[in-house]
Amino acid sequence: MLSLWNEVSQKQNDIPHFHLLIDGCWKCLSSGEYQDVINPATGEVIARVPLANQQDVENAITAAYRFFQTLVFDPLERIEIMLRASDILKTSREEMAKTIVLESGKPISIALSEVDATIERLHLVLEEVRVLYGEYLPGEWVKDTRGKFAIVKRRPLGVVAAIAPFNYPLFIGAAKIIPALLAGNTVVVKPASDTPLSLILFVRILEKAGIPAGSIHVITGSGKEIGDTLVTHSLVRAISFTGSTAVGEHIARLAGMKRLHLELGGKAAALVFKDADIRTTAALLCKGAFRNSGQRCDAVSRVLVEEKVADTLLEALREESQHYFCGDPMDPKTPMGTVINEGAAKRLDALLEDAKNHGASFLAEKKRTGLFYPPHILEINTECRLAWEEIFGPILPVIRVKNEKEAIELANQSEYGLDSCVFTQDIDRAFRVAEKLHDGSITINSIPAHGVGHFPFGGNKRSGIGREGIKYSIDELTELHTIIVSLKEEK
């Protein structure tokens, strides 16, 4: 068994049983029940994690609140812990990447980049948190504040509930935990049930780096069963959630007066115009649609191509797609692994079936083997579900449009508003179109890629509330605290 695994799990019937971390204790679990973690590539049970119940959630939140109130977690100490955590993560790079592969079925090359991105994020947040100063505001400029001044500080909120999805199981969870802790909050984190292991190991790394017991707690178990307790608890001040729009909207309905940071579904359109560099565009679009088997909120999820270049683009896409094929996820040369589970694969099957029934023509069509889902490219019309629904799988639908106006209209008709991208060599067109699109980020001549979060990202419409990103996540997880001073006139 891998070495970090040994520190947070125990073998029973030859299967590692992981622990939760509540109030500094790795074994406290009231229910005694576990759920399986399955390797999507082999179908094997690789580990089991605790099925936390409401009482466990309650215990974690109360302990996190108690710790927050003690206010003893010094900023310099936080920075040093994160630096040590980054060193430990570097030495555990291979083990962490293998864990991600085992639980998610993604190829090792992508898992290694995920670990590297987490290490980089740790460092970049450290730079930002040091400039968390606030403002000094003189009152002289307005009649009723004359003789006063204000100091506007940023301070932590308190207990943050961090809920992570399966697709980047380490990075997305860590990108919530790191700024939350550095800004002085305490955290209760819930990983996705399909992929809980890498985030548990990350919390273990924080603990080894010296994070005080009580500042972070990790609970595993069904979101359906324990989610409501987590998001409605009166001691939780903020919810940082990344996941589906359905669950995000459910949380928004229940949460009441809490800070909400919701990163939800996406339906990125790629608008390709007749003056685009078609060969480069096709290569980028395949990467955008098929990397991580399309299981990315920022995946290219529909191509809107000007009629005049549609045939050329389709042919170029067909050729480029040959570089994407499924293979052993542990092999460094494998470009694509599996999709996450049978439910996800069946949803993709149904989307393709629906497209067939609506007369779609397929350019690349191969059968899936288990959860190994090969890339699909197809030309569709707007009657198809694929034109509007989030795909989250390796399927690239292409729609022909007459002109710029139609492309913009179709792009903006989506209920999502996370990302889009524009391919053209005409600088006027590029900016004109980018101004008109409704998404949180518009990328010109490349595909959406949130990367380590140097640029802010987040969605409009049903794609969410708030912005992720190195500085931006800190803003989301702190509140403004204004101290106003009234100066007496000299006698």
Active site positions, annotated: 263, 297
Among the listed residues 85, 206, 182, the one whose alpha carbon sits nearest the alpha carbon of residue 131: 182
414 binds ligand NAP (CB under 6 A): no
418 binds ligand NAP (CB under 6 A): yes
Nearer to ligand NAP, 166 or 423 (CB): 166
Residues 248-287, mask of contacts with ligand NAP (x by CB under 6 A): --xx-----------xxxx---------------------
Q: Enter the tokens of residue 201.
A: 């190991």
190 binds ligand NAP (CB under 6 A): yes
Secondary structure class of 61 (helix, strand, coil)? helix
166 binds ligand NAP (CB under 6 A): yes
For residue 303, CA distances in Å to 299, 300, 324, 337, 491 come to: 11, 7, 18, 23, 73
Nearer to ligand NAP, 18 or 166 (CB): 166
From 220-228, 279-287, 351-359, 360-368, span contacting ligand NAP (CB under 6 A): 220-228
440 binds ligand NAP (CB under 6 A): no
| Binders in 288-317 for ligand NAP, by CB under 6 A | 297
Measured CA to CA, the distance from residue 184 to residue 125 in angstroms comes to 13
- 418-446 per-residue burial string, b: 16 or more CB within 10 A, e: under 16: bbbbbbbeeeebbeebbeebbbbbbbeee
Of residues 173, 179, 184, 223, which one binds ligand NAP by CB under 6 A? 223
244 binds ligand NAP (CB under 6 A): yes
341 binds ligand NAP (CB under 6 A): no
Among the listed residues 124, 367, 95, the one whose alpha carbon sits nearest the alpha carbon of residue 205: 95
Going by their DSSP bridges, the two strands 159-163 and 186-190 should be labelled as parallel
Of residues 49, 231, 303, 304, which one binds ligand NAP by CB under 6 A? 231
Q: Where are the alpha helices (DSSP H) in 238-367?
A: 245-255, 278-290, 307-320, 342-357
Nearer to ligand NAP, 156 or 469 (CB): 469
Among the listed residues 138, 135, 177, the one whose alpha carbon sits nearest the alpha carbon of residue 159: 177
Of residues 16, 50, 165, 184, which one binds ligand NAP by CB under 6 A? 165
50 binds ligand NAP (CB under 6 A): no
From 54-62, 63-71, 165-173, 271-279, span contacting ligand NAP (CB under 6 A): 165-173
Measured CA to CA, the distance from residue 200 to residue 205 in angstroms comes to 9
Spatial contact of 410 and 399, defined as CB atoms under 8 Å apart:
yes
Site size toward ligand NAP (CB under 6 A) is 30
Measured CA to CA, the distance from residue 85 to residue 91 in angstroms comes to 10
390 binds ligand NAP (CB under 6 A): yes
- 306-328 per-residue burial string, b: 16 or more CB within 10 A, e: under 16: beebbeebbebbeebbeebebee
Q: Where on the chain is the footprint of ligand NAP (CB under 6 A)?
A: 163-167, 172, 190, 192-193, 222-224, 227, 231, 242-244, 247, 250-251, 263-266, 297, 390, 392, 418, 459, 464
